[in-house]
Structure 1
């Protein structure tokens, strides 16, 4: 299964790497579409910290850089789960801002609806990659089983301690009965 995972991650990450490079080099091509989201997010960022960038061009470039880095990490098999989660989180505003087919009509609507559905498919793949433990137990499984092992170990220790205390009581009682 490892070759399939490796190939799938490389294929999934490639679209974000290529797109990220293109947009970092030419952010103006996406600024107008991004304004649907950045006009709402910008004021919130300014309230959080006035030093944070809030203009659409800078936010587009930052998002593209994040996609580029996370795409490279996913494609190369490094930090695959966090990289896939970051890409999935970034894909949601991109899809909503870039392909609002519900506001369109005619052939333009069909085109954007297709891109929207393609992005949903990518999102599904990213969610699978973010959840993929590569055949190893996930942290939830390992945690619950570690707790169960600890509880079994404690029960065993308590039984052993009781048994040893019982033996010690018998030994002490027998020692008291011996003529001394």
Structure 2
């Protein structure tokens, strides 16, 4: 969904910039008079040495009480929209479901919520992991697991990672028909942090 929205927004932005650039280019070359271009409006900025707003227009607009509030509000909205879009791109894309390769009809899927609950429950069932949180990101063809584990007191991070690498993650890869499912595991404890990609 996010990829589709990005493509639509970038396409609209590209069309707008291309149309504006071609209009200004044709005006700067005075092609509006040389060629019978009836598609371009007869405006000052389509002429050589023309401007978008003349001095009289700028003076008249600045004299209006609504001009500067509208300008600053529009710029503020553009800035907020750009920041929101940037934050949205930085967030990982959560995968809602994962199709099974072994299904001939291509209709069998595993919901990420079910997979997360199973992984969290299995991880908490072993000694050393006090709390677990799992997120499935990426795409259906290239999924990724992100796990955050809160270690219990006096637990061994190496033992917890060994349990994940040898038992829990292989079972998840087999059940989802994804033998190369990468997993990023972050271990958190009091005054201690570590991460490892399995």
TM-score range, shorter chain: under 0.3
Q: Return the structure number with greater relative CO, CA threshold 8 A, min gap 6.
A: 1
Structure number with the higher strand fraction is: 2
User: Normalised by the size of structure 1, how large is the TM-score?
Assistant: 0.28
User: Normalised by the size of structure 2, how large is the TM-score?
Assistant: 0.26
